[in-house]
A and B are shown apart, each in its own frame.
Chain A
């Protein structure tokens, strides 16, 4: 298992302030990881006391990007720019509040060329927050 923290996460993803939506990731193996985010009131997607649905989607997408980026990083390559290609059956059960810590499990389901399909599920203190599938498209440096 390899762990990345707030100080090293930017080696895995191309996003920078103010839209970094993960603050830690543990790479479990080539196809799964656990990413985290402490929700703070100054988060870009924070509104009326909670993290918005869009923030959960971006968090999920960056969690997926970090899993893919960790592979590149360990091969000595820089973080590649990627986009959300598709969000599918993404259900939102709860909007996390300030001070809560989101824990997200990412599982790589399929990978064809530059397109990766991942399944994500997020919790706060064991409570179900959101889950769904995200397709990430990597376009390069």
Chain B
């Protein structure tokens, strides 16, 4: 999953961590998703979140169970270029919220290992 996103900033707070992320619209995945009609694949966003949690915990985490993952708005990487990922957690249960300005893109609750 090359060149899908780039982390531009990380803000660590007491009870959450925020990643400022740039979506890279020249990523080759858009050749197939979909031809002439780029939409960020929801699965790529799931992997992006796994990588951000792994980076924060400084180890390779695995997703054991996705309790719920809702995609609330399709993401066009040419329009929603900069997105904000907010992560909160309680032990091994993590919640992720993906936003572009005021637009809610995605919400995830997952058990990790």
Whether, in the assembled complex, B32 has its beta carbon less than 8 Å from a beta carbon of chain A, the answer is yes
A interface residues (Cβ-Cβ under 8 A, vs B): 14-20, 44-45, 47-48, 52-55, 57-58, 61, 81, 83-92, 95, 132, 139
Whether, in the assembled complex, B47 has its beta carbon less than 8 Å from a beta carbon of chain A, the answer is yes
B interface residues (Cβ-Cβ under 8 A, vs A): 1, 28-29, 31-35, 37, 39, 41-44, 46-47, 50, 60, 62-71, 74
Closest Cβ of chain A: how far from B17's Cβ, in Å? 20
Measured CB to CB, the nearest residue on chain A to B42 is: A84
Contacts beyond the supplied A16-B35, A86-B70, A90-B65: 19 A-B pairs with Cβ under 8 Å: A15-B32, A16-B33, A16-B34, A17-B31, A18-B31, A44-B1, A54-B1, A55-B43, A57-B69, A58-B41, A83-B71, A83-B74, A84-B71, A85-B71, A86-B69, A88-B68, A88-B69, A89-B65, A92-B66
Please, how many angstroms separate the alpha-carbon atoms of A45 and B41 in the complex? 12
CB distance B74 to A57 under 8 Å? no
CB distance A54 to B29 under 8 Å? no
Residue numbers in B under 8 Å from A20 (CB-CB): 32
Residue numbers in B under 8 Å from A89 (CB-CB): 65-68
CB distance B46 to A81 under 8 Å? no
CB distance B66 to A45 under 8 Å? no
